[in-house]
Structure 1
């Protein structure tokens, strides 16, 4: 299984909870799905009749989405630079991508540039201190005594700060909604998919010798067990605005 396939089985299912609300706020004939991943937003927008341009930095993700959704326009790009003309899109949807960019203000200005006047933008990001679905991995790594310096997060997830950044980038009517839900998943499958996806935060697990991986997994199993029935409690923010 490739990293993209593991992501699709794991994180993509977690992030799919916000797709409906995201597209309520930003779906129009010419839609940009920025940070498309394996295509949960693209698939839903295509089903609504939108003409979708799907953008991601990861070639594996783009290969998968192009194979699944031949009617989507697929481009490789990394915020804060997009290979599009000014005012090219009627709406922009970004599902859990803005928290990964290195320059939030620059990314918002670039998204403003490619959105037509009157167009809508909607962006989601995780509330970092209410992400049990992934924090159990960090806690398991620490409990196993494995040194792990997690990458710094330049993104500030405060809603007030984010609406100010949207306004500074030129957007109007900015607001942020809070969404909470339970992510119900088989705990063994969740472990497998997160570890195989790796990424900057949990790649350290795959670099360990088998006995250490087993020790981390034992701690994960213990920490995740209370959520086996009702699911992991998670929280995300949904920001929306117009140009």
Structure 2
């Protein structure tokens, strides 16, 4: 993900990205991109971005990486999926693009002034280990920033309604073990940052209206990406067609996709 690419993290929902990256870039990347500038603004309040060494974990299509480069940062991006790394390299030719994931980031400890991720932690199989690896990569005084979706976010509600009203058949999902998960709330994310040893922790609510076209958003789900996509690939043609009709109706009812995220920032001692 993304950044803005949650499904290219250490995720139980991670798809095989060959052939899927264009659909993701066409649809979901536009949705996740709304949090990019707030992430960089928040980091810049603590560390000047011009000349800073910044690590983007789960870079996805490279939008966050490219935005950070435009602000003068020297960016290293990491993603496990080759198609996503290719998109990142195209978006930000000056960035160093590495294969890998957290935990186990392929970087030296204490190297970065800032470590960021966009919608990654809530999909990680061990979010505490992932965040600990972020902290390891930062120098003393480094800023760590990450986003998760706010509870009951519009996109999740949309997918939930489509699944329920089209009566898709349930499928097995590899879930995060309960003892490794965290409450996907501001309080839960703050606790995660505190447990990682970060200081001066702040929580922000970020909201934006996504201008994604409905056909582009559906294309991502139809390609098997995301929660609804995981369900759709297991359905027959009739059910998938019914789900598409429900999606078009529900999206039209809403008129726009209002997104809300929780942004956490902390400083490494």
Q: Secondary structure at the match of 1:26?
A: helix
Q: Following TM superposition, by how much is the alpha carbon of 1:21 offset from its aligned partner in structure 2, in angstroms? A: 1.1
The aligned counterpart of 2:124 is 101
Q: Secondary structure at the match of 1:188?
A: helix
Pick the aligned partner of 1:120 from 143, 149, 152. 143
The answer (yes or no) to whether the contact 1:102–1:155 under 8 Å persists in 2 is: no
Is residue 139 from structure 1 mapped to residue 161 from structure 2 by the alignment? yes
Comparing 194-203 with 140-149, greater Cα deviation is found at 194-203
Q: Following TM superposition, by how much is the alpha carbon of 1:109 offset from its aligned partner in structure 2, in angstroms? A: 1.3
- Superposed structure 1 runs of 4+ greater than 4 Å apart: none
Pick the aligned partner of 1:157 from 180, 184, 187. 184
Pick the aligned partner of 2:232 from 185, 193, 205. 205
The answer (yes or no) to whether the contact 1:127–1:236 under 8 Å persists in 2 is: yes
What is the CA–CA distance in structure 1 between the aligned matches of 2:220 and 2:85, rounded to whole Å?
19
Give ranges in structure 2 of 5+ residues lacking alignment.
1-17
Number of matched residues? 240
The answer (yes or no) to whether the contact 1:100–1:155 under 8 Å persists in 2 is: no
What is the CA–CA distance in structure 1 between the aligned matches of 2:196 and 2:165, rounded to whole Å?
42
What is the CA–CA distance in structure 2 between the aligned matches of 1:149 and 1:178, rounded to whole Å?
32
Bigger helix share: 1
Q: TM-score if structure 2 supplies the norm length? A: 0.82
Bigger strand share: 1
The CA RMSD over aligned residues, in Å, is 1.9
Comparing 190-199 with 61-70, greater Cα deviation is found at 190-199
The answer (yes or no) to whether the contact 2:220–2:229 under 8 Å persists in 1 is: no
What is the CA–CA distance in structure 2 between the aligned matches of 1:109 and 1:189, rounded to whole Å?
35
Q: Following TM superposition, by how much is the alpha carbon of 1:179 offset from its aligned partner in structure 2, in angstroms? A: 1.5
Per the alignment, do residues 121 and 166 of structure 1 end up closer, same or farther by CA in structure 2, a change over 3 Å counting?
Answer: same
The answer (yes or no) to whether the contact 1:180–1:234 under 8 Å persists in 2 is: yes
The aligned counterpart of 2:259 is 234
Per the alignment, do residues 135 and 57 of structure 1 end up closer, same or farther by CA in structure 2, a change over 3 Å counting?
Answer: farther
Q: TM-score if structure 1 supplies the norm length? A: 0.91
The aligned counterpart of 1:62 is 85
Is residue 24 from structure 1 mapped to residue 41 from structure 2 by the alignment? yes
Q: Following TM superposition, by how much is the alpha carbon of 1:149 offset from its aligned partner in structure 2, in angstroms? A: 4.2
Superposed CA deviations along residues 185-222 of structure 1, whole A, max 9, x for unmatched, are 32222212332252455232134332221111111122
The answer (yes or no) to whether the contact 1:123–1:239 under 8 Å persists in 2 is: yes
What is the CA–CA distance in structure 1 between the aligned matches of 2:235 and 2:150, rounded to whole Å?
29
